[in-house]
Structure 1
Amino acid sequence: MSTQLDPDLLRTFVAIVDAGGFTAAAQQVHRTQSAVSMQVRRLETLLDRALFQREGRGVQLTPDGEAMLGYARRLLKLHDEALAVLARPDLSGLVRLGTPDDYVGRFLPDILVRFARAFPRVQVEVHCEPSVNLRRLLAEDRLDLALITCTPGAETGEVLRREPTVWATAERHLAHEDEPLPLALFQAGCPFRDWALAGLSGLGRPYRIAYTSASISGVLAAVTAGLAVTVLGRSVLPAGVRPLGAAEGFPPLPPASITLHRGGSVSAVAECLAGYMREGFAAEALSSSMSSGNPAILA
C-alpha cells in the first residue's frame, strides 16, 4: 500500500511551526502535548524522515522538515478550500474586520482575494484603527475579528506572526543625525510609538515628536521627505526607506506580535475568514523565510 498523508498529522506539524513549539500547538489543535508528540512521530515514521531537531529549550526544523513544510501548507490549503467551497458554497453574510493601517496593504490583499473566490457572497467590512481602538471596538461587539499588535510575552489572541521592528529613515536624507531627533509616529496607544520613546529615553537621547498620524501613509510622508525618523515593522518598509541600527546609535526594539482576536459571538462566516487569515500569514512567513535563506527557529 502506498503511503497516505493524513491531513490531521499535517495540520499538527504546521501548527507546531506556526505556534512556535509543541505546547502552544497542542492548544491550537485541541490535543494534549503528548498526543501532538505522538502525531509528529507518526508523520516522521510515514515519511521515514526526521522533521524536527531539538536545540536547548526550543526545536528547529531539519532540512527535510523545511521541505515538508511547504508541501504541507499547500496540501492543507487545497484540502480546506475544497471542503469550504463544496460544503458551504452558499455561505453569505457580513464580517467586520479591524486592522491597524500598516497591515492592510502588506498582508490582506492575497488573503481577501482567496476568501472572495471561495465565498463570493460574503461581504468583508475592513476598519482601519490603531490596536488600542480595536480592543475597544471588539469589547463593544462592533467587530467580529481584529488584527492587534501585542508586546512579546504579553500576547493575547492567536499569534499569526512575529514581526521584526526597526527604526527607519529616508535613504537619501540624514534626519537620523539631527539633534533633537525628529520623530514621525503613530498616535498615542500604538506599541511602536511607546517602544520608540522608551528606547530613546533609555539612551538619554533628546528627541521631538515632529509628526503624528493615524495612518502609515501620513507617517511615511514625513519620513520619505527626510523630515523625521519612525519605527515600523520591517516588512512594511517601502522603497526609499532604510532601517537604522546600533551602528547609527539606535537601540534595539522588541519584535511585534501580530495577533488575531475574535469578538464575543463569532459567526461561521467569520471563523472561515479567520482560517484564511491564519493560512495566509503562515504562507507569507514561509515565503519570507525561504527568500531570506533564514531557517525557521521555533521557541
Structure 2
Amino acid sequence: MLDIAKTAQLTPDLLRSFLVAADTGSFTRTASLVHKTQAAVSMQMKKLEEDLQCLLFKRDGRGVSLTAEGEILYRYSAKILELHDEALTAVSGPKLHGKVRLGAPDDYAMKHLPGILREFSVNHPQVQVDVFCDDTPNLSKMLDNGQLDLVIATDNVKTKFSAPLELTWILPERMDPSGLKELPLALFHPVCCYRENGLKALEKASRKYRIAYGSPSLAGLLAAVQGGLAIAVVTKDTTAKGCRHALPSDGLPPIKSVYIDLRFKPRNRSEVVSVLGGFIAKGLGIVI
C-alpha cells in the first residue's frame, strides 16, 4: 500500500494556493491572487488530491467548495502556514515598521486585496495597514487632504501608474436580453466610470434601458443580478453564482475599458508606503 506520508508534500506554496482556493471558491480568482495561471492552480489542487488520495473540492458549475476532508486540511494548513511564517520572521527579523492608510473601492478590496495583503503581511508583519473603502472621487479627496497614503482608483484616463481594466456585462444565467425592449440595469452610483461607460455603450447602440437598482458596492449590484432582476457592468474577472457574462448572441454592446491606477503623493512616499505600493502594483499588473 502506498505510504501517503512519504509521497505527499505539503509545501507552503501549495498550501497558500489551497487556502485561497477554499476562501474564494474559484480557481480563476485564486490564480490572480497567487500570481499563477488557472491551469497551474488546477494542477496544484489535482496533485494535492492525488497525493492525499482523497477529494478536497466539490466542483459546482464554475465554482468549488470544500469536502469534509478539505475542511480538515484547511484547518491544518492555516496552522502550518502560521508556524512557517512565524519561523521566517523569527530567523530573519522584521525589517519594516509603521502604518499605511490605503483607500480602495470595495470591489477591489474584495477581489484583489486579500492575496496582496496576505503576501505583504508575510514579508512585513510589523506594518499596520488600515483599509478605507469608498468611491474613487472621495478616496482621491482623502489622499489630497492627507488622510490616506495610497489609493487604488479607476478612471477613464490613462496615468503613469495604471493598467487597463476590461469591462463586461453580467446578467442572470437564464436571462435573454436580446428579447427585452428595455434593459433593467443595476449600476454603481453616478460617480463611477463603470456606470458612465456602460450607459454610453447602450446609448451609442440605441438600446433602451432603465436604472432599476443602484448601489455603492459590488455585493449590492450582484444581489440584484443573482435575483434575476437586472444586468450590471463589472470587470471581466468578476463572477457570481447564478450569473454569466454576456455573449455575442445577447446583443449587448461592448463597453469601453477603464484604467486601474495607484495614486500617492510623492512627498509623502515613505519607505513603508513605497514597499506596500510595490506589492499592490505587482498584484494589479501596474508598472511603477
Which TM class, normalised by the smaller chain length? Answer: 0.5 to 0.7
Residue equivalent to 1:276 = 279
Instruction: Report the CA distance shift for 1:147/1:157 in structure 2 as closer, same or farther (over 3 A).
Output: farther
Partner of 1:233: 235
1:101 aligns with 2:106: yes
Which one-letter code corresponds to 1:212 in the other structure?
A: G
SS in 2 for 1:235: coil
- Residue of structure 2 in register with 1:166 after alignment: 168
Paired with 1:177 and 1:144, the residues of 2 have a C-alpha distance of 48
Q: 1:157 deviation in Å?
A: 4.5
In structure 1, the gaps of 5 or more residues are 1-84, 286-299
CA contact (8 A) 1:169 1:176 kept: no
Q: Equivalent of 2:212, from 207, 210, 213?
A: 210
Q: Following the alignment from structure 2 to structure 1, what is the Cα–Cα distance between the partners of residues 125 and 239?
A: 32
Q: Does 1:224 align with 2:229?
A: no
1:126 aligned counterpart, secondary structure:
strand
Aligned 1:256-275 pairs, distance under 5 A: 256-263=258-265, 265-275=268-278
> What count of residue pairs does the alignment treat as equivalent?
197
1:51-109 CA distances to partner (integer Å, 9 max, x unpaired)? xxxxxxxxxxxxxxxxxxxxxxxxxxxxxxxxxx8998242221111111111222111
Gap change, CA 1:167 and 1:173, over 3 Å in 2: same
TM-score by length of 2: 0.63
Structure 1 match to 2:255: 253
SS in 1 for 2:117: helix
Cα deviation for residue 261 of structure 1 reads: 0.7
Aligned to 2:130: 125
Higher RCO (C-alpha 8 Å, min separation 6): 1
Residue of structure 2 equivalent to 1:112: 117
1:41-190 correspondence to structure 2 within 5 Å: 89-151=94-156, 154-159=157-162, 161-174=163-176, 177-190=179-192
Partner of 1:194: 196
Residue type matched to 1:261 in 2? R
CA distance in 2, matches of 1:130, 1:108: 16
CA distance in 2, matches of 1:253, 1:128: 25
Could you report, residue by residue, the CA deviation over 1:32-57 in whole angstroms, capped at 9, with x for unpaired residues? xxxxxxxxxxxxxxxxxxxxxxxxxx
* TM-fit CA distance, 1:192: 0.5
Residues 178, 251 of structure 2: 8 Å contact kept: no
Maintained 8 Å contact 1:157/1:261? no
One-letter code aligned to 2:245: P
On the 8 A contact 2:171/2:246 being kept in 1, the answer is yes
Specify whether residues 88 and 262 from structure 1 end up closer, same or farther in structure 2 by C-alpha distance, changes over 3 A only: farther
Q: In 1, are the aligned partners of 2:186 and 2:225 still within 8 Å (CA)?
A: yes
**Alpha carbon RMSD of aligned pairs, Å?**
2.3
Q: Partner residue of 2:85?
A: none
Amino acid at match of 2:208: P
CA distance in structure 1 between the partners assigned to 2:225 and 2:273 by the alignment = 36
Distance 1:249 1:137 in 2: 40
Q: Displaced runs of 4+ in structure 1, greater than 6 A?
A: 85-88
SS in structure 2 of the partner of residue 209 of structure 1: strand
Which amino acid in the other structure matches residue 240 of structure 1? Answer: G
Note closer, same or farther for the CA distance 1:211–1:177 as it changes in structure 2 (3 Å cut). Answer: farther
User: Retained in 2: the 8 A contact 1:100–1:148?
Assistant: yes
Q: Which runs of 5+ in 2 are unaligned?
A: 1-88
Specify the code of the residue in structure 2 equivalent to 1:201. E
AA partner of residue 186 (structure 1): F
Kept after mapping to 2: 8 A contact 1:175/1:227: no
Deviation of 1:129 (Å): 1.1
TM-score scaled by length of structure 1: 0.61
Distance 1:225 1:125 in 2: 33
Q: CA deviation at 1:115?
A: 0.8
Q: Which residue type is aligned with residue 112 of structure 2?
A: F
What CA distance in whole angstroms lies between the structure 2 residues aligned with 1:113 and 1:268? 19
